[in-house]
Structure 1
Amino acid sequence: MSLLQLKDIRSEVEGKEILKGLNLNINKGEVHVIMGPNGAGKSTLASILVGNPKHKLIDGDIILDGENINDNTVDERAKKGIFLSFQYPEEIPGLTVEDFLRTAKEAVTGEKQYLMQFHNELEEKMEKLHINPEYAQRHLNVGFSGGEKKKNEILQMAVLEPKLAILDETDSGLDIDATKIVFEGVQKLKTNDTALLIITHYDKVLDYLDPDFVHILMDGKIVRTGGKEIVEEIEKNGYGKMKKQFGL
């Protein structure tokens, strides 16, 4: 069943066109990987999906669960089930991880989150993701290593239970061990109702996730869709051959 449809999406930043007619369909429960060279528009795609006001949608339609969300704000899209894991998570002194997550859960669901019930559920999720429960009382990302920050992003995903989770270069800056831990955690959270859109530079992510589709984004468009064989081709030839093939 279709969860997200992007129809001829065009966007610009400060007058410069970035996405140039992008089309994509994601069904519930599917894992999609977006790859492409620097400057192709990968992070712009994530920004357009969550409604980042710096990125202007100039044409096309974003359809989530059959509803056009072109005009929805960032918080409205979050309430409808879109989640973005940041490439560079912010540090917020004075705000504990648990308080942040409980407040976020209340904001997204509109339901009161009772302290002890939420605390117990959070501990269960932290155990599942192999996160020390003591981290719940630490200030958000303050003093966290790169891997700990990214694991905390996945914990947010676990708590908020989105329909569509967008992971924008979550593997950036992580060593092999941290990448393994983070994406094994993502795999544990995958359900038949949650779709994943993984934006990455690195094929190593595919060692821990089995995507339904791999898409190559170049010059603001998805130029090719397939499976892991595309990644093997890029490993062998880079993006140069593909750019020539599509006249880019």
Structure 2
Amino acid sequence: MGKKFKLCSKRKVILIVGSIIVSISAVISTINIRYGYSLNNYENYRERNSSNITITEMMNKNLAKIEKGPSSIDNKIVYITVDDGPSRYTDEIIDILEKYNAKATFFLLENNMKRYPDKVNNIINNGNKAGFHGVSHDIHELYKNGASARKEFEVNQDTFFNITGETSKLIRLPYGSKPYTPCEVYNDLINCGYRIWDWNIDTQDWKLNPNQIIENVKINSENKDEIIVLIHEKQQTVECLGEILDYLSNQGYEFKTIDQNQIPQNFWSNNLYK
């Protein structure tokens, strides 16, 4: 009886130990698949971090990573884009952006840059990005001939450089790149290296009140993982910008500025999210 009991106990111990080993192996396999760990790079990991680290400690750290969920790469993205500046509202817009740890991309008019050079510098010095919105803001002037649009943006470029010492290839065509821009003008700007950006949320803040603007953003951002929000330097926009930023932040959006090396999103290339 005693021998049988000992045999049963040993078998139970073996089964328990075996189960533990299988469980540990499964966890390690999960970590290997998800994070690219192997026994070899585990040894390297130990050498880099601590000579006393154990497999259990390593697994606990990586399981904690799994529990945290997706990284910032998986977050939803919003580009706040501001047209028609700089203006008397520019500094206030920048202050609101700072409050919500957000940055924006400002598309500037040439005459306004000359009128408010300090505000142009304030845009850049606060970590925002700048592009150009033209000189005339008149499609009849802008598209008068094949080279007229390019010449306007060259003037933008010169004025911006004289104020900041920097250059930019980001542009937003007045009223968007469609339907007014002739094909030859669009191709000419692309061949000159300009990056043309449109939007997929038009807040219509130039004609709506603050409550309508906020509702517009909420409705049109539904089910979109990447949004380009068009706003203007208007009093009503300033009044509701904080609430817009707060809403988008709570919806999981990460605020980003447009980089000059990004693939442009515009109505011609048809790569805007619907």
Q: What's the TM-score, normalizing by structure 1? A: 0.28
| More contact order relative to length (CA 8 Å, sep ≥ 6) | 1
More strand by share: 1
Richer in helix (by share): 2
